Amino acid sequence: VWDRIKQAANQAYQPGRFVTFVAFEWTNWRYGHRNVYYRDGDGPIFRSIDPGSDTPQELWDLIEPYQAMSIAHHVGGGPIATDWDIPPAAEEWLVEISSIHGSSEYYGCEACIYRPVRGSFVRDALARGYKLGIIGSGDNHDGHPGDGSIGAIVTGVMGVYSTGLTRKEVWDAFRKRQVYGTSGPKIILNFRVADSPMGSEVDWAADRGAIPVGIRAVGCDEIDRVEVIRNGEVVFSEKGEGVFARYLLQDASPPAGTSWY
């Protein structure tokens, strides 16, 4: 079966038009579910029930020799929450915030994932200092990526700022965390801090004054509200006006280790 999956993914790949990746889901019922992706169209499958590949650390060690990454899915609960006591390794630089299971933004959020577990949400991971880009993904298993699912309150879609439609170019954007997630709508979003794109690490000396935070968005419908979250707290909230949003903010006193989204 794994060989057929790889063959199908590679046959569908059309450089410049349509990008696919070979991937599998590691469904561990203690530490959480992770999807593993291979950049170059090949790689082995590692099962979460096999000794030697049944912990996140073992999984990361096994995929480390390859151009591979893992992404934690439905982290806030649902089928199984993610255990953030285990820090993400170098092979994990993205995290899912929304899927058909619900939102994993924070405990008690709108459209919150079912069976939520405190301490397992995206904000909890960021509060620990983990450097993760935020994505959305469907997890609907129905062969129609990007579509909603009957009965699901939300789904998930990832936006990627890639320089082109090849595996290497899209992968490079993944690696730089130049991505964002939505709960389904195909919103166009550009978010920058100190003129650095989303996913960047920014050094900013206090004597340089306030740090600029820029937002540009194009919605699929009228935008209800635009919010900026800094270290888990809303620091900017503005009612939307139409389908476009554009703001340039000045954050006068961001503490060290700040994360924004």
What pLDDT shows up at residue 149?
72
pTM: 0.95
What are the tens digits of pLDDT across the range 70-88?
Answer: 999 999 999 999 999 999 9
The domain locations on the chain are: 2-185, 187-261
Say yes or no to pLDDT of 151 above 80: no
* Mean pLDDT value across residues 131-154: 83
**For residue 18, what pLDDT band results from cuts at 50, 70 and 90?**
very high
What are the tens digits of pLDDT across the range 115-133?
Answer: 999 999 999 999 999 999 9
User: What residues contact residue 174 under an 8 Å CB cut-off, 6+ apart?
Assistant: 69, 93, 94, 133, 160
User: What residues contact residue 177 under an 8 Å CB cut-off, 6+ apart?
Assistant: 93, 94, 131, 132, 133, 198, 199, 200
* Mean pLDDT value across residues 221-241: 94
- Average of per-residue pLDDT values in the chain: 95
Stretch (H or E) spanning 157? strand 157-160
Quickly list H helices, 1-135: 2-12, 56-63, 122-127
**For residue 139, what pLDDT band results from cuts at 50, 70 and 90?**
confident
Say yes or no to pLDDT of 156 above 90: yes
Stretch (H or E) spanning 72? strand 68-72
